[in-house]
Amino acid sequence: MTGALKGRTNGTKTLVALIKTSDRTQGVARAIGLLEVNPVKGKQVLLKPNFNTADPFPASTHNDTLEALFVHLKGMGAKSITLGERSGPPDTSEVMQEKGIYGLCKKHDVRIINFEDLKEKDWVRIQPEGSHWRNGVLVARPVVEAECVVTTCCLKTHGYGGVFTMSLKLSVGVTNKKNMSELHTSFRSMRKMIAEINTAYHPSLIVMDGVTVFTDKGPSHGPKKDADVIIAGTDRIAIDAVGLAVLKDLGSNHDIMDRKIFEQEQISRAVELGLGVSGPKGIELVSDDEAGNLYAKRLSAILAQG
């Protein structure tokens, strides 16, 4: 299993980089640079995007963000990059075809693993202590055994019980489709079960594209607002907490606006499992220009409310 990377910290705080921009190529490079870590150098990197469906961003990872990551990770010295994903409910290969992923990966010499094509032996059953999964959950072995995992998520609400879908919920795409029926019918435990999947692996780097976000409904369609942010970090709880602050700042649905960030079940269960920071005091937002610093200050005030 990939080891957890604490990344650059300021004392006891984990840094989350925030770039105020609509330029994904520059935003990705600037955000990663602010973290002052290079977990990919000399490593075989597994990159997990958000291809739940082929619907346009923010429903799925923007191809410009994906390409920016391909280029930047190679520039950081990644030995190789493999894109791994499982879509759902649509067929994964059809989603990739519709999004032009095969051509994009060929252009950048990036290998693809379609988790739907994995054989039975290539799935690992995990069951964290106190798990809400009846018999555990099957996770793709290439993720569990990866030398280095990088994830890239969108910033959006989830209208089917998840409440929001960012870095923690991205992990649903590393599970076997056989598990989806249990997840989608477990209305009381769904958000806790999402958090529990994340115990299977630890990403070394997370990049969230918040140039445009769904402020309601989702994950494939919904009202959109431009946030013009690229966010990067090494802590999934911190990333999602900052994303929730963005939604609160923009104005979202009552599930987001009427609940404190660290009282969201995905977040609170992830804290119980020790997956990252335990509260807003553990997060320090950093940027590299006046616009970013002003926005980071505003989001920090929202985070401070819990």
pLDDT in tens, 96-131: 999 999 999 999 999 999 999 999 999 999 999 999
- Statement: residue 11 has pLDDT above 60: no
Q: Is 1 among the domain residues?
A: no
Task: Answer whether 81's CB lies under 8 Å from 73's CB.
Answer: yes
Round to whole Å and give the CA distance between 54 and 245: 27
Cβ atoms of 212 and 152 within 8 Å: the answer is no
Query: Is 13's pLDDT higher than 50?
Result: yes
The reply to whether 2 falls in a domain is: no
CATH number at residue 116: 3.40.50.11440
For residue 12, what pLDDT is reported? Answer: 78
129 backbone dihedrals φ, ψ, rounded to 5°: -60, 130
Structure-token pair, residue 187: 């209305």
Task: Report the Cα 188 to chain-centroid distance in Å.
Answer: 23
Residue 306 — very low, low, confident or very high, per pLDDT cuts 50/70/90? confident
At residue 10, the pLDDT reads 52
Residue 260 domain flag: yes
Local structure of 302: helix, strand or coil: helix
Please name the residues in contact with 170: beta carbons below 8 A apart, sequence gap of 6 or more.
Answer: 48, 50, 151, 153
Number of helical (H) and strand (E) elements in the chain, helices listed first: 11, 12
Any domain includes 208: yes
Q: Determine, yes or no, domain membership for 231.
A: yes
Local structure of 246: helix, strand or coil:
helix
pLDDT given at position 252: 98
The predicted model scores a pTM of 0.96
Query: Is residue 92, in this structure, part of any structural domain at all?
Result: yes
| SS3 of the chain: helix, strand, coil, percent, to 5 | 40, 25, 35
Q: Is the pLDDT of residue 147 over 90?
A: yes
CA 251/CA 247 separation, integer angstroms: 6
Contact present, 51 and 174 (Cβ < 8 Å): no
Q: 153-207, pLDDT tens digit by residue?
A: 999 999 999 999 999 999 999 999 999 999 999 989 999 999 999 999 999 999 9
Quick one: tokens of 257? 């606006």
**Does the residue 73 lie in any domain?**
yes
pLDDT-based confidence at residue 302 (cuts at 50, 70, 90): very high
Domain count, the chain: 1
Domain hosting residue 34, numbered range: 9-303
**In this structure, is residue 4 part of a structural domain?**
no
Taking only Cα atoms into account, the Rg of the chain, rounded to an integer number of angstroms, comes to 17
